[in-house]
Every structure is written in structure tokens, then in C-alpha cells.
Amino acid sequence: MTTTTTPETITAAAAGTWQLGDLTVNRIGFGAMRLPQQGAALRADAVPSDRARSIAVLRKAVELGVNHIDTAAFYFSPLRSANELIGRALAPYVDDLVIVTKVGPTRVPSGEWGEHARTPEALRAQVEENLRQLGRDHLDVVNLRITGTDSVADRFGALAELREAGLIRHLGLSNVGPAHLDEALAIAPVVCVQNPYGIGAPAAQEEMLRLCGEKGIAFVPFYAIAGAGRETGAGGAESEEVLAVARERGVSAAQVRLAWTLHRGPHILAIPGTGDPAHLVDNVAAGALRLTEDELARLDAPHPSAS
């Protein structure tokens, strides 16, 4: 992509594709976490987003070739739910649209966080809630999201049973380490790992990226743009290396970060999220940005941790 390219003409197909099991997705997808609210995500006091604008962003994403949407039942704010917005905007769903959900974390209706679901009954209830909200009879991919280093065998095994029952097509993991991945693979196939990753990621996440590549598993970074900003977004000071490359290429810092992430391996899927139509166009266009070896070397220089 050069400075003369019109972002509006670039589709998600420019980033190439990857297989999530038997499902083909473009490597630039869309994360729905920010859709239900303005500003920082997943806060009990979040200000609801503009409903019409959020629906328009989702429809524009699909128009631009996005066929991989990441969501969760716990992505909500007062009056808004990411899953409900997805259903309102995109149902009836086109055949090639892959919706990836996650289970584990719980939020009460007020928005406060509760204990993670750990029993088969609690996990099934979360799967059924996602099915109900999305208006589907099965979920394409369900990621088990965890915290800490506890064994995932029982929880992943419960999801594997729901997969056998036909409620889930494929399984993934989120926020995990190598031991968790090994545990899960001993129970059922894993099609993706969703972990924090971006420029300046720690060695542990580089190792997870490498392991996933060796095993043919998609590695799906979250906070690839936000970095240390996490749920609040990329509001902090940007590194000079990123800004310099962005200036030279005539693109945004966010596009540079996304392009760098995609360069890290063909199995990497980006899921940038936004409630801004212009940012959506730029994020998708980042899939066509090919960084040079010199630019990659400059961006790979030591940075503060992105996680």
C-alpha cells in the first residue's frame, strides 16, 4: 500500500486467508468489544454507543470483506450488547461469516465482574446465552477464556462435549500459556489461541505465537493496537519508531501496528475493533500494507511491553 492508495477500495481479502478448522477467514477481522459503548470498554459505568452507528459499522465491515467477527456475551454496556448488535446488523447471516465467541468470564447485568464459569453447567449456560443472543443454532468457534495458571482440562473437556453435541463447531483458547494448550490438545482440536500481542510483546507471547505456528493453530492477538492501553484503547504516547514509519508511509500508527502484527506469521489473524466507520476502513486497509525489512527491523527494536 502506498500513499496514493484509496483505503476505501481495499478489502479484507488483501491480508490473505487462514483456515479455522474447515472455515476460511480473511486475516483481517473485526473485534466487537468496543461496539456497545463509547470510550473505555467493559466498564459498569460505560456510556452506551450510538445504536445506528454501531450497526452501520458492522454492515460496513462485512461490505469490506470482513468474515471473522470476535464477540462475547459479556461485551455489553447499559442498553447495548455486542451480540444483539451483530444479530440486528447481520442476520440472516451469510454462509461465509465466522462468528467467534468466548466463554469463561461473567458479568452481572449491572456490568460488574463475577467469578469465572468453571462447571459444565455454567459453561453450557454461557454457550446457550451466546446462541440465544446471536440467533444461531450452533456457534462457529468458542474460545475458553481463562485467568491464571490453573488447569483447563475440566473446562475445556466440558466445551468438547458441547462440540460433540453439535452446539459448537470448533474450539479455541484465550489468555493461555503452553501448558494450557497442551492440556487442551490432549482433549480436542484447537483452531485458535487468542492472547495479548503486539509491538513490544514479551517473550512469553512470542513463544506462544511460535508454538501456534508450528501446530497450524491460528494466533489471534488482542490489544494489537491498544498495547498497554488495553480496554481503554490506544490513547497513550506512541513510540517514535511507529510514528516515523507511519509518517513515511502516509498511514496511521494503528495501521503500522496492524501491519507489523500480520507480518509476524501467516497464521496470525487480526481483530481490531472500533465504533468509528473511518477507523474501520483504515484498519481493513492495513491488511494491504507491506512493510519493508528495514521498517520491520526498526519496529522490532526494544520497546516497552505491549501487554
Q: In whole numbers, what is the pLDDT of the chain averaged over residues? A: 92
pLDDT band per the 50, 70, 90 thresholds, residue 302: low
Kindly tell me if the per-residue pLDDT of 188 is higher than 90.
yes
How many Å is the Cα radius of gyration of the chain?
Answer: 18
Greatest C-alpha distance within the chain = 54
**Confidence (pLDDT) at 267:** 98
- 21 located within any domain: no
Q: Where are the beta strands (DSSP E) in 39-85?
A: 47-48, 68-70, 76-77, 80-81
pLDDT digits (tens, 9 = 90+) for 145-182: 999 999 999 999 999 999 999 999 999 999 999 999 99
14 belongs to a structural domain: no
Phi, psi at 235, each rounded to 5°: -100, -5
At 231, is the pLDDT very low, low, confident or very high (cuts 50, 70, 90)? very low
pLDDT value of residue 41: 84
The dihedrals phi and psi of 247, each to the nearest 5 degrees, come to -65, -45
Closest to 34 in 3D by CA, of 285, 305, 279, 287: 279
pLDDT of residue 303: 54
Asked whether residue 236 carries a pLDDT value surpassing 50, the answer given is yes
**268 within 8 A of 261, measured Cβ to Cβ:** yes
Question: What gap in Å lies between CA 105 and CA 115, rounded to an integer?
Answer: 7
Q: What is the pLDDT of residue 284?
A: 97
Has residue 18 been placed in a domain? no
Report pLDDT digits (tens) over 283-296.
999 999 999 999 99
Task: Tell whether 4 is covered by a domain.
Answer: no
> Is 12 a domain residue?
no
pLDDT of 134 over the 50 cut: yes
Tell me if 95 is assigned to some domain: yes
- 94: domain CATH number is 3.20.20.100
> In the chain, pLDDT over 90 holds for what percent of residues?
84
> Mean pLDDT, to the nearest integer, of 89-112?
96
Listed residue (42, 70, 306) closest to 172, CA to CA: 70
- Write the CB contacts of 31 (distance below 8 Å, at least 6 apart in sequence): 69, 70, 71, 222, 271, 272, 273
- Which of 75, 93, 197, 223 is catalytic? The answer is 75
Question: What is the DSSP track for 157-206?
Answer: HHHHHHHHTTSEEEEEEES--HHHHHHHHTTS---EEEEE--TT--HHHH
Does 75 qualify as catalytic in the annotation?
yes
Domains held by the chain: number: 1
- pLDDT (mean) for 232-258: 84
Q: Give the residue numbers spanning the domain of 123.
A: 26-297
pLDDT per residue as tens digits for the range 107-129: 999 999 999 999 999 999 999 99
Dist CA 60 CA 278 (whole Å): 10
Better-scored residue on pLDDT, 3 or 62: 62
List residues bridging with 70 in a β-sheet.
Answer: 31, 100
In-domain check, residue 307: no
Q: Is residue 292 part of a domain?
A: yes
Range from 4-13, 75-84, 114-123, 242-251 carrying the lowest mean pLDDT: 4-13
